[in-house]
Chain A
Amino acid sequence: MKRFIGFIKKEFYHIFRDKRSLFILFGMPVAQILLFGFAITNEINNVDIAVLDYARDTESQKIIQKIKASPYFHVENEIFNEKAIENEFKKGKVKAVVLFEKDFAKKLQTEKKATVQVITDATEPNVANTIANYTQSIIQNYQNQKNTTPKSNGVVIQSRMLYNPELKSVFNFVPGVMTVILMLVSAMMTSISITREKELGTMEILLVSPLKPFQVILGKVFPYIFLSVINAIVIVAMGYFIFGMPINGSIVLLAFESILFIITALSLGILISTISNTQQTAMMISLMGLMLPVIILSGFIFPIASMPLPMQVISNIIPAKWFIIIVKSIMLKGVGLEYILKETLILVGMTLLFIGLSIKNYKIRLE
C-alpha cells in the first residue's frame, strides 16, 4: 500500500509539472462550458432588426411595441422604403426587416386579412430561421389576444416543451461537454501517460521492480479517476449555478453513473496504451478514434435520430451516446435507476470488454 501511495504521488508530480496537461485538465472544462454556454447557442437574443411601416396605424404600432418589448429583438431603426432594405442588410447590423403593408388596420377590420412581411438576412440560415419563427409567434400571440372569441371550428395546436420549456441549448451542452471532457481526460490523458513510460523506458524499470503490472496500471490510472471526478463536479456546478441547469434526479445516482463512465473511459485509455508504443500514436488514436466520434456520433451536437441508418447503428458502440442519455435523464427528467438500467448495463458491459481486451493484449506483449 505504501508503494502504491508513493506511485500516486509521483503521478501527481507529473501532472502538476506539465503545463500542457494542467491546461487540458482544468482549463478545458471551464473554457468549453463557457464557450458552449455563452457563445455557441441556438437561441437568439437582442437581434437588431428594422421596421418598415407603410401603415402607421394603431394595429401596426401595437405589434411593433410587442416586438420591441420582447427580449429577442432590438429595433435598431425605422426605414421608409423598400429600397432601403437591402442597404440595411449590406451594412450588416440589421438581421431582419418587418414590413407592414398599407392600410394594415383597415384591411384587418374589413377583409379580416392583412399581411406582415418578415424579410431576413439568410446568409446565416439558422439565425434567419429562428428570427422568422420568433416574429411569427409574437404576431400569432398578438392575434390570439385580439380574437377574444375563439373560432368555433379549426384545429388549434398547443405544444408544450417538457423538461426544457424555454428550449435552452445549455441543457443539451452541459451533458455533452461533460461527456467530451471526461472522455478526453480519462482516455486520452491515461493512454498518453502510460505510453510515456514506455517511451522513456521507465516502464521496463517498473516491470523489473517488485511492483506487479496491475499495480503499475492502477497507479497510473488512479490520479485520473480523482481528477475526472473533480472535473465532473466543476462542470455540473457551473451548469447549475451559471446556466440554471436543473438537477431533478438524485445526485448520488448522477455521481455513480459519472464514475462508471469515467471507468469506461479509463479502460478505453488503457486499451489504447496497450496497442500504441509512443505518446504520439496514443494521442492520434485518442483524438481520431475517440474525440471525433464522441462529438459527431454521440448525439451531443447532431441528433442521432436524423442520421442515416448505418450511422445510427454505429452510434450504438459509442459509450458517450449512452452516457449523454443517462445524464439528461437524471438531470432533466429526474428519473431513477430503473429507467436508465439498460444504458447503465451497456456501459458496464463495454467497460468489462475493454478491460478484458487490455489484459489479453498486455499478456501478448509480455511473451
Chain B
Amino acid sequence: MENAQEKIIIVENLTKQFDHFTAVKGISFHVNKGEIFGFLGANGAGKTTAMKMLIGISNSTGGTANVAGFDVHTQSEEVKQNIGYMSQKFSMYDDLTVQENITFFGGIYGLSRKQIKTKTEELIAELQLGNIAKTKVGDLPLGWKQKLAFSVALLHEPKIVFLDEPTGGVDPITRRQFWELIYAEAHKGTTIFVTTHYMDEAEYCNRVSIMVDGVIEALDTPKKLKEQFQVNSMNEVFLKLARNIE
C-alpha cells in the first residue's frame, strides 16, 4: 500500500456498454503521479469513451475508477475540481478576447478576481502573448489557440490534466513546441493524461497504453514496448499490435 499514494488514477475493470456493443471491455490500469501517460488507440478503439468516463461526462456501466483520490461515480464534484481538460477542438469562445476567456474559465472554477489577475499576467508572460490580451480568440492562429487552451485548462492548478488529441491539425514545429509546454507542466508535478494519433508523440511519454477494440493490449514505457515487439519505433509497435489482433 505504500505505493498507493503515488497512483493518481486507478482504473479497475472499467466497462462501457452501449445498446448494441461494448465500447470499453473491462480495462484496468493505473497512472502514477507526475508522469506523462499516453493513451493510444486507433479511431473507434474506445479511448475517447474511456477518457470521458474518467472526467465524469459519461457514466460507466461497470468497474470502478478513482481519479485524484476520488471515485468518479460517487464523488464526481471533487474529481471535477481536481482535473483539467482540453478537448481536440481547443474549445474556447472565439468571440471573446484572450483576457475574457481567461476570466471566464477562471471564474467557473471559482478563482478569485485577484487570482485571475495574477494568473493572467503569469500566463501572458509565459506564453509571450504580450499584446494580444485584448485580441479575440477567433483571430488567433491555431497554434496559439492550442497553447492558450492548454494554459486555460491549467488555470485552477489541477492535479491531473486530460488532453484529448491536443495536437490534431497543427504543424510539426508547433507540435514540438506544445510538447515542450507539456514537459514543463509535468516537471511542476502535474500528471498528464494524453490521447494521440501520432506515434512519434508516443515516444515522448513516460508510459504508454495501447487500446485495441475496447481492450488495453499493451502498457509499458516506449522503450520496453519496442524491446518486447523487437522493433525500432512506436509506429511499428502499433502496427504489429493491430495486425496481431486481425
Contacts and interface: CB of A to CB of B under 8 A. Distances in A.
Interface of A: 2-3, 6-7, 9-10, 13-14, 17-18, 200-202, 204-211, 366-367
17 contacts: A2-B107, A3-B108, A6-B108, A7-B107, A10-B93, A10-B100, A13-B100, A14-B93, A14-B96, A18-B95, A201-B91, A202-B93, A208-B55, A208-B56, A209-B108, A210-B110, A211-B108
Contacts of A205: 85, 87, 91, 105
Q: Which 5 pairs from chain A and chain B are nearest by CB?
A: A6-B107, A201-B89, A201-B91, A208-B85, A202-B91
Nearest to B162: A208
B80 interface: yes
Interface in B79-100: 80-81, 83, 85, 87-89, 91-96, 100
A208 B96 contact: no
B90 to A, nearest CB: 8
B59 interface: yes
Given A208-B83, A211-B108, A366 B59 contact: yes
Contacts of A7: 104, 107-108
Given A10-B96, A204-B85, A366 B58 contact: yes
A13 B95 CA distance: 8
A202 B88 CA distance: 11
Contacts of B89: 200-201
A13 B96 contact: yes
A100 B57 CA distance: 83
Given A209-B80, A366-B58, A366-B59, A6 B95 contact: no
Range of interface residues on B (Cβ < 8 Å): 20 to 34
Given A202-B93, A367-B58, 18 more contacts: A2-B107, A6-B104, A7-B108, A10-B93, A14-B96, A200-B89, A200-B91, A201-B87, A201-B88, A202-B91, A202-B92, A204-B57, A205-B85, A206-B108, A209-B109, A210-B80, A210-B109, A211-B108
Interface of B: 55-59, 77, 80-81, 83, 85, 87-89, 91-96, 100, 103-105, 107-110
B59 A367 contact: yes
Contacts, number: 70
Nearest to A209: B108
A211 B109 CA distance: 8
Given A10-B100, A13-B96, A366-B58, A210 B91 contact: no
B87 A204 contact: yes
B186 to A, nearest CB: 20
Contacts of A208: 55-57, 80, 83, 85
Contacts of B104: 6-7, 9-10
A12 to B, nearest CB: 11
A9 B99 CA distance: 13
A286 to B, nearest CB: 21
A201 B89 CA distance: 6
Contacts of A18: 95
Nearest to A10: B104
Nearest to A18: B95
Contacts of B110: 2-3, 210
Nearest to A17: B95
B13 to A, nearest CB: 19
